[in-house]
Amino acid sequence: MFDFVQMLVSGIASGSAYALMGLAMVIIYKTSKIPNFAQGEMALAPSFFAYMLIDSYHLPFYIACILTFGFSVFLGCMIEIIVLRKAQKSNVLGMIIITIGLEMILLGFVSWKFGAEPKSMPFPISPYDSIPMKDLIKGTDLIIGTLELFTFTIALILMIIIFLFFKFTKFGIAMKATQQNQVIARAMGINTRRIQMMTWAISSFVGCIAGLLVSSITLHPYMMWDPMLKGFSAAVLGGMASLPGSIIGAYIIGILESLFGGYISIEFKSVVSLMIIVVVLCIKPSGLFARHYIKKV
């Protein structure tokens, strides 16, 4: 029982990082219809940017974080303006290739600038801090990692902000309109180009938070591959166009993966997410939470 709860907790923590990566992908997918394979590296670059600020420029952690948020927003806007806006006439496959290209460029740049060996981010909470929970469940001494709790809390807050933003602000609603029918949104006076740009900015920001959270455990050029893959899996699981769907998908993957690792095999832990996807897509090809809208022809 004790082991089970412990695994659940760590599954929820890693699920939180996946959820943020999944959200970041879905936000872009909904407005641009592009699965953004550069998402992981768009989170990687800001993490290393923060590391550089702290390590080379000796800025305090929190100030470095705030500057990094700004950097991630800037990066998102730039990628949209310089690359994707120009390429908009190309088809979806072309766009996918472009995002893969971007991914390699960012990865190459980070590897070249910082080297491949792991670094350690001077994160204020270390992976070894923990909060003992005596008798939370009768007769057990559950130990919750402070970092796990922190990751979960930050992810939760961010999700709530995103939800409120999309539901209640002028920009969020304009974004919904753009997602549903871009031509008409434009005819209604919505500057859809600006919406696209801000979509990339927001997504990049969400990814950046995920990157920073992951970097607290490990900081090296390939650190985002796993979270990115799981986030993408979660997004697909959720139907690719559903924000809550991708979050639920991410927690399903995080928890199942953790349980699988604990009870069956640590080596094959990472395979779980892909197995889940294969199974789900066989049973329900549109994902668990896709809304179906069949256009009359």
Partner 1 sequence: MSFFKVENISISFGGVKALNEIAFEVNKGEIFSIIGPNGSGKTTLFNCISGIYKPTNGKILFNESNIMGKNPHNIAKLGIARTFQNIELFPYMNTMENLMIGRHIYMKTGIFRAAFMLGRKSFAAKEESFHREKVEEIMELLDLQSFRNRFVGGLPYGVQKRIELGRALALEPKILLLDEPCAGMTSDEKEDMIFLVQDILEILGVTILLIEHDMKVVMDISNRILAINFGSPIVIGKPQVVQNHPEVLKAYLGEE
Q: Does 184 bind partner 1 (CB under 8 A)?
A: yes
Q: Does 292 bind partner 1 (CB under 8 A)?
A: no
Closest approach of partner 1 to the CB of residue 161, in Å: 13
Pick the binder of partner 1 from 109, 114, 171, 225 (CB under 8 A): 171
Spatial distance between the Cα atoms of 27 and 35, rounded to a whole number of angstroms: 10
Spatial distance between the Cα atoms of 180 and 71, rounded to a whole number of angstroms: 29
Residue 18 Cα to chain centre, angstroms = 6
* Residue (138 or 170) nearer to partner 1, CB: 170
For tokens 């991410």, name the residue: 250
Closest approach of partner 1 to the CB of residue 177, in Å: 5
| Residues 129-165 as b or e (16 or more Cβ within 10 Å = b) | eeeeeeeeeeeeebebbebbbbbbebbeebbeebeee
Candidates 45-53, 73-81, 154-162, 173-181; binding stretch for partner 1 (CB under 8 A): 173-181
Site residues for partner 1, 191-210, by CB under 8 A, read 191-193
* Residue (128 or 168) nearer to partner 1, CB: 168
The secondary element (H helix, E strand) that includes residue 141 is strand 141-145
CB atoms within 10 A of CB 88: 11
What is the sign of the dihedral through the CA atoms of 88, 89, 91 and 96? negative
Main-chain dihedrals φ then ψ at residue 291, nearest 5 degrees: -90, 135
* Residue (32 or 99) nearer to partner 1, CB: 32
Which amino acid does the sequence have at 112? W
* Residue (14 or 31) nearer to partner 1, CB: 31
Closest approach of partner 1 to the CB of residue 94, in Å: 21
Site residues for partner 1, 19-38, by CB under 8 A, read none
Spatial distance between the Cα atoms of 169 and 175, rounded to a whole number of angstroms: 10
Could you give the string, one character per residue 139-168, with x where binding to partner 1 holds by CB under 8 A and - elsewhere? ----------------------------xx
Q: Does 189 bind partner 1 (CB under 8 A)?
A: yes
Residues that bind partner 1 (CB under 8 A): 167-171, 173-174, 176-177, 180-181, 183-193, 291, 293
